[in-house]
Amino acid sequence: MGLIEGLFGWLFGGGMRDVQKTVETFRPNAEAEAQRTAEFQAAALNQFGAEFRQQRGLFDRVIDGLNRLPRPAMALGVLFLIGSAMVDPVWFASRMRGLALVPEPLWWLLGAIVSFYFGARHQVKVQAFQASMAETLARMPQVVHNIEAIRALRADSPGVADVVGDAEVALGVIGPGENRAVSEWEALD
């Protein structure tokens, strides 16, 4: 072993620490790399979660309520039109003839407005989903720890009936107790 150590000392300038430094210039230390990656991911999750922890005010909630009205209004409007076509076809036909007079550029503008509205709502929903996922992932280590603690309490877990910490229970288990069947058998002799 001394010969190999001496050879490495001569090649790399002395000491195994120098060998480690030389090797780490070509290949990163796997343990240190894993630690840096874990710290980076934890910091990113904390930053991402902090962006969405703010409480929303009354104005935001009112605007969200108003934003939820157009879709049900459009759906109920279409159902009303279908019902009115069956109840009063003349009234329905006159309304549809009025819609036929709307110029095509106005239909394009209406289509763009509706598309942007639904696109914006989709984006808001995706961001809310991402925020909830970030919160869930941030709680993951605590959940895993709790699951492991619960599994350790199962009746078939090793050491679950261990009484090392409670001397009174240990003596009660180890010490002889009265057994009625044995006492009656001894009484027969």
Summarize pLDDT for 2-49 with one digit per residue, the tens.
677 777 666 666 556 666 777 777 778 888 888 888 999 988 888 887
Mean local confidence (pLDDT), 173-181? 74
Classify residue 49 as exposed, middle or buried by CB count within 10 Å of its CB (0-12, 13-18, 19+): middle
Q: Are 9 and 95 in contact (CB under 8 A)?
A: no
* 45 neighbors 138 (Cβ within 8 angstroms): yes
- Phi-psi group of 55: left, alpha or beta (phi > 0 → left; psi -120 to 50 → alpha; rest → beta): beta
Contact yes or no for 135/52 (Cβ under 8 A): yes
Higher pLDDT, 48 or 108: 108
For range 147-165, the mean pLDDT: 70
Per-residue HEC secondary structure of 115-174 comes to HHHHHHHHHHHHHHHHHHHHHHHHHHHHHHHHHHHHHHCCCCCCCCCCCCCCHHHHHHHH
118-132 pLDDT, tens per residue?
787 778 888 888 888
pTM of the full structure: 0.34
128 CB-side CA count, 13 A? 8
Chain centroid offset of residue 151 CA: 21
Mean pLDDT, the chain, rounded, equals 80
- Out of 79-93, 144-158, 175-189, the most confident range is 79-93
Token pair of 170, please? 């240990």
Report how far residue 158's alpha carbon sits from residue 11's, in angstroms, rounded to the nearest whole number.
52
pLDDT of residue 80: 93
- Contact between residue 81 and residue 92 where contact means Cβ atoms under 8 Å apart: yes
